[in-house]
Structures are given as structure tokens and as C-alpha cells.
Structure 1
Amino acid sequence: MHKRHYSIETILSNLNIENLNEMQEASIEATKKHDNVMILSATGSGKTLAFLLPVLQHIDGHNKNTQAIVIVPSRELALQIEQVFRTMGTGLKVTCCYGGHKREIEENNLIQPPAVIIGTPGRLADHIRRGNITVDSIETVVLDEFDKSLELGFQEEVATVISAFKNIKRRILTSATQAVEVPDFVGQLHLNNWIFCLQMQHLKQPYLFSTLFLTIRIRLTPCSSCYASSGVVQLLFSAITGSRWKECISY
């Protein structure tokens, strides 16, 4: 694979952003070492760039097939992500697929496969059934705000879309809700196969988990960092009362 070098500095300049925030940096580092990453962070915290930059790292600029797909719960979110990707200035083709306008417009755009497709579950499933998307070449799947897709009743459509991809190598899931589980249809259900990048409320730094953090009903405020290593989660806590004592918990 011949990966084209994309300058993060140039991308940030195109987006009028001075620096990545810590959650975005943590996401990039996590995806360098792990194939299955879940980003849990509040709305407006920069999750779009937190998954687009890692996706870009794995795009082969010489490959003329679709290599990554981003599944979102709404047309508005799809268009927003598409605009961010175009503004990044990579020169890569991107196509946005969603209901509410003529499918034929998208079909024409898909004749020459884009490097990245962004779309809603129903419209993507329709294109796959019609053979408009080169599913065998897609290796990276992003489910942005996947919990909302499930809440809106798109589970069947999302499952249909993901099941069509037989060569998935990387999965990135994002959610603004911390009480989430990995849906069955995503695959790689064993918790040790996932790394969680968590930006908890009132915290300035993101935390990486190599097992499911929800097994820990946290009533304390993490004060320093969380280390991912061979399925063991080590959390450093300070008491919610503001005291400075620390306790290390391992699982």
C-alpha cells in the first residue's frame, strides 16, 4: 500500500484550527496501535476530526476503490462531516449518501468510487443492494453517534450495511453517551479487542481503556490518567470531595 502523506498542520490550517485537542490526539494514538476504537466524548468536543484523521492515515491515495465508510444517524450530520472532510483539503474524493433527494445523483457520484463514503443507514443499505458501492475494498468502518442510530431504530439497516463488508480491518465507534455497549452486528465483541477513548465530564484529559469501563460504576473523579495494557485497566482516582488521596484500581 502506498500511503500518501497528509500534513496534519496543513489540514488544521485549512480548518482554521490551531491545535488538536487532547481527545483528538488520544484518538489518533489509539488508532495507530489498535484496530477497534470507541470514542466517548461530549457533543461539540471534536469527535469528527478525532475519527477523520485516523481514517485518513489508512487511505491509499493510489487505490481507486472506496476504502472507508462513515455511517451516521442523520442527513445533517452526514453533510456536516462531508464539509469537514472537503475542507481538510486532502484531494481525496468523498461522496455523501442520504435520503431526501434523488438517489440518481449519488449513483452518478459512485460510478467512480470515492475514497470515503459518508451516509445514513437506509440510503447506504439501498446502494449496497443495488451494487453501487464497492464493498470488498472497504477496510475501515466508522459508526458516528452509533447510539443515536440504534435509538432511532436503524439497527437492521446498520447491520445490513456492516454485514456487506467482508474485509473490515478497522472499526471506530463514537458516542456522546457513556452508557453504551458494542452492538452485536459490529463484530469483535470480546472486550479485549477494543480500546476506549473516554472524555469524561468535567475532565480536561482523555482516558484510554483496554476493557469495558462500564463495569466500574465511577462515583469518583479520575485525576490523572488511565493506562491500557494487555486487558488490564488501571485507574487513578481522587475523591469527589476534592481530597488528594489516590487509589489505583486494576481489573
Structure 2
Amino acid sequence: MQKYASILNAFKIDALNEMQIASIDANQKADNVILLSNTGSGKTLGFLIPILEQLDKTTPGTQALVIAPSRELAMQIEKVWKTMTTGFKVTCCYGGHLRETEENNLLEAPALIIGTPGRLGDHIRRENIKPAGIKLLVLDEFDKSLELGFQDEIEFIIESLPGLKKRILTSATEAVDIPGFVGIEEPVRLNFLTEEKSEALAIKYVESEDKDKLDTLFRLVCFLGNRSTIIFCNHREAVERTNSFLKDSGLTSVFYHGAMEQRDRDAALCKFRNGTSNILVTTDLAARGLDIPNIRYIVHYHLPHTADTYTHRNGRTARMDASGTAILIIGPDEKMPSYVEENPELITLEDKYELPEKPKWTTFYISAGKKDKVNKVDIVGFLTNKGQLKKEDVGLIEVKDFFSFVAVRKSKAAHTLSLIKNEKIKNKKVNIDVAK
């Protein structure tokens, strides 16, 4: 431990914890390490010390890359590295940061680069990052990167690293499937997860006097306000009926199930992710694997048939140390399912509530995508130049193979649409309209 004395002193700690010591030891012996540990457990030091031990002061250029799912996490990792006072240059790259500043920082290649998938991929494409010398890759909070839909970008980055020899992957969940493109073979697996995170999930219930629970659902959604909410139904017909009822009642909602056309499914999920709608009505198709972050409420409109379904539905919220609430609607002929082990809290609803505030975003559909060589930068430039929008008026952009969706501030949408309807993107005539 004496060799890490300066690091311990910098962080004012007496010793490394068990997880950090295990990670350092594993990384000294193995090329592929999977570190499972709760957020806030000190895993950043658990992979930064192994990076430091791998860096060579006599080797020019970038030697290590850390990919994080959010700019906040990327900045936090950079702060920890700088506190370590390693003597090695570091650069942090993330969306919302001036690209010109990052380009200047990358001119003299840093030994370590930390960043978010989109911005790192952009720099590699622009040849601002020279990837040939990168031998070590860390994918931090990889489960969240998959949840947020960064798989394509991460795959591109990894394919751009011809000299990659060592991989460290961290995750806050044991269940994450690691795609083959990551290239982790025969990894050492360190599991320091605890059950504490589940305490962030609250279980509540509401009683419906009517067998048809729609009125109860409407009052519940108004009671909850305009927070991100997924409503689960057991079959497709109920999804569409419930969504129609909520919309007819003045709420903004979208629906999602397996019988929809792919473009309609993409549009619904995009509207939910980008804040055009705070309510998603869905079947259990959305209970697993969808990249939908920051869900506040799960509503079981229909009670799940199995404990497994109940668990997976609830797994959409209270993720990554965020709090969340699952609410069961119990009809007059229903009982609390036996698989609900907690002691749920009863929500008592009033007869009338005001409608929640409407979302401030709308979604544009653009008939051009990756196959047309259109990317997010092109769309932002198009909307700010031709559509006279400020950057803060452009929200989440999702570029698919043949079309794209972009969130635009609702107050500016009509004027912008009138300006861009007949304009071209990359000299290509495209159809642009409010997404259906």
C-alpha cells in the first residue's frame, strides 16, 4: 500500500478498499477484467490506478481511453485523475463542451482521453484522436451506456482501436449482456455488488372501485404530475385503448407494442426519451432491454402474470442510484399478488385533479439518416442555420439508417417548420414534418 501513499494522501483516505485492491491485483495479471460494483463505491480509483500502472512515460501519444455514458461521469473521472497528480496529460471530451477547445487539447496527444461515446466517435472520425497507440480501454458503467443507446457508437470506437490489448469493463448490474464487439475474452470477473441499490425503489398501490380502471389511472397520472411514467398493460388492444383514453382526456401520451411498424415504434420511444411525451403506454415488450433512462414511475395498469414480469417491469426505474416508484392498480376483484414481498403504501386519490403541465418539446421527423451520410452535427447545423433555432431549442436527436427524429422546443416548432420545409440537407431534398 506504500506505493499508493501519494494517491491516498491526495484523497485524504487511509487505505484503498477491498474492491479497489482486488481490481488492481486482477488488472496486474489479466488483460480482461469485469468489475461489478455499485455507483459511489470508489470504482473510479479501482480502474484509474490500473491505468496509471500501464502508462509508459517514454511512449508518446494516447495510450488509454475511458468511455463513460454521461458528461457528468466523464468530468468526475477526469477530476479524480487530476487529483491523483499522475504527471500524465488527460483530456475530457463530451457533448455540450466546445469542440474547438477539445481539438486544441488533442493537438498534443494526451496519454489518457476520457469522454462520452458520441463526442469520442466524432473526434475519431475527424482524426482529432489518433487511436493507433491506444492499448487500454475502460468502459465505465457499461450497463448505462447500453441503456442510453450508445451501442453503435461504442462499436465504432472499439473497431477504430487496432492496437487494443487490455479491456476493463465496469457495471452496476450483474445482468448486463456484453456484446461480442467488445472483445472481452476469458475475463476475470470481480463482483462487489450489494443489494442496497434496491432501496431506491418504492412500491405503492391504488385501489380502483371500477373493474375498468381507466378513470383511476387518469386521476393517478394527474396526481403524479408530468414526471416520466411507463404504464404497463398485458395485451396490445388494452395498450391502444388506454393510450386513446389518456389522450382524449387531455394528457400527452404515446404507445408501444410489438405489432407496430418499426418506424412507429422508433417514433414512440424517441418521443418518450426526448420529452415530447412523459407517458408511455406499453406491453411487456418494454420491460427488458430498451434504452430509456430516468423513468420516475412504473404503473402496473394490469397486474403482471408472473413474479419475473413484475421484476423486469420494475427494473425500468430506480436505476443507477436514481429513485423510482412502482404503483399497482388493484381492481375490485383483484388481490395484491403474492410475489409483492414488500408492504406497499396505499395512495388515496381525490376525485378531481388539474391536468399536468404539457411537455415543452415536439418531435420532427426527417426522411434522411445514416445511409444518407446525415449525422447529428448536420441536423443541428441545419436547424440553427435554416431554421433559425438556438442550440438550446434543439433537444435529443436520434439518427436511424434511413430517417431521423429531433426534439424541437414546441414554442418555436411551427415557425421553424415553415422555414425548413423546402430546404435541403447535404444537397438532398428531404421530407420534414411533425412526427406522427
Question: In which range does the TM-score fall when normalised by the shorter chain?
Answer: 0.7 to 0.9
Match for 2:176: what amino acid? V
For residue 102 of structure 1, what is the aligned residue in structure 2? 98
SS at match of 2:76: helix
SS at match of 2:169: strand
For residue 45 of structure 1, what is the aligned residue in structure 2? 41
Match for 1:74: what amino acid? S
Once the two structures are superposed, what CA deviation does each residue of 1:17-61 show, in whole Å capped at 9, x if it has no partner?
211000000000101111000000111111100000001111001
Following superposition, the deviation at residue 202 of structure 1 comes to: 6.1
Q: Structure 1 residue aligned with 2:8, among 4, 9, 12?
A: 12
Once the two structures are superposed, what CA deviation does each residue of 1:50-106 show, in whole Å capped at 9, x if it has no partner?
000001111001212100000000000000000000000111100000010210100
Query: Is the 8 Å Cα contact of residues 173 and 193 (structure 2) preserved in structure 1?
Result: no
Does 2:193 align with 1:197?
Answer: no
For residue 120 of structure 2, what is the aligned residue in structure 1? 124
Match for 1:196: what amino acid? R
Does 2:83 align with 1:87?
Answer: yes
Larger radius of gyration: 2
Stretches of structure 2 lacking an aligned partner (at least 5 in a row): 197-436
Q: Distance in 1 between matches of 2:179 and 2:166?
A: 15
Query: Is the 8 Å Cα contact of residues 34 and 170 (structure 2) preserved in structure 1?
Result: yes
SS at match of 2:33: strand
For residue 107 of structure 2, what is the aligned residue in structure 1? 111
Superposition pairs for residues 211-222 of structure 1, below 5 Å?
none
Match for 2:193: what amino acid? M
Query: Is the 8 Å Cα contact of residues 172 and 193 (structure 2) preserved in structure 1?
Result: no
Following superposition, the deviation at residue 155 of structure 1 comes to: 0.5
SS at match of 1:141: strand
Once the two structures are superposed, what CA deviation does each residue of 1:198-248 show, in whole Å capped at 9, x if it has no partner?
113269xxxxxxxxxxxxxxxxxxxxxxxxxxxxxxxxxxxxxxxxxxxxx
SS at match of 1:82: helix
TM-score normalised by structure 1 residue count: 0.75
Following superposition, the deviation at residue 7 of structure 1 comes to: 3.8
Does 2:17 align with 1:21?
Answer: yes
Q: Distance in 1 between matches of 2:195 and 2:119?
A: 37
The alpha-carbon distance between structure 1 residues 198 and 78, as it changes in their structure 2 partners (threshold 3 A), is same
Paired residues, number: 195
Q: Distance in 1 between matches of 2:3 and 2:151?
A: 36
Superposition pairs for residues 37-186 of structure 1, below 5 Å?
37-186=33-182
Q: Distance in 2 between matches of 1:104 and 1:184?
A: 34
Q: Distance in 2 between matches of 1:37 and 1:108?
A: 33
Q: Distance in 1 between matches of 2:87 and 2:12?
A: 18
Q: Distance in 1 between matches of 2:176 and 2:96?
A: 29
Q: Distance in 2 between matches of 1:55 and 1:83?
A: 15
Q: Distance in 2 between matches of 1:18 and 1:172?
A: 25
Structure with greater contact order relative to length (CA < 8 Å, sep ≥ 6): 1
Q: Distance in 2 between matches of 1:114 and 1:180?
A: 31
Q: Distance in 2 between matches of 1:64 and 1:44?
A: 33
Q: Distance in 1 between matches of 2:143 and 2:130?
A: 26
Q: Distance in 1 between matches of 2:181 and 2:158?
A: 7
Once the two structures are superposed, what CA deviation does each residue of 1:137-179 show, in whole Å capped at 9, x if it has no partner?
0000000001101100010111111110011110000011111
RMSD (CA atoms): 1.4
Q: Distance in 2 between matches of 1:99 and 1:17?
A: 33
Q: Distance in 2 between matches of 1:21 and 1:202?
A: 18
TM-score normalised by structure 2 residue count: 0.44
Q: Following TM superposition, where does structure 1 have runs of at least 4 consecutive aligned residues deviating by more than 3 angstroms?
A: none
Q: Distance in 1 between matches of 2:73 and 2:193?
A: 23
Match for 1:81: what amino acid? I
Q: Distance in 2 between matches of 1:66 and 1:34?
A: 21
Following superposition, the deviation at residue 185 of structure 1 comes to: 1.5
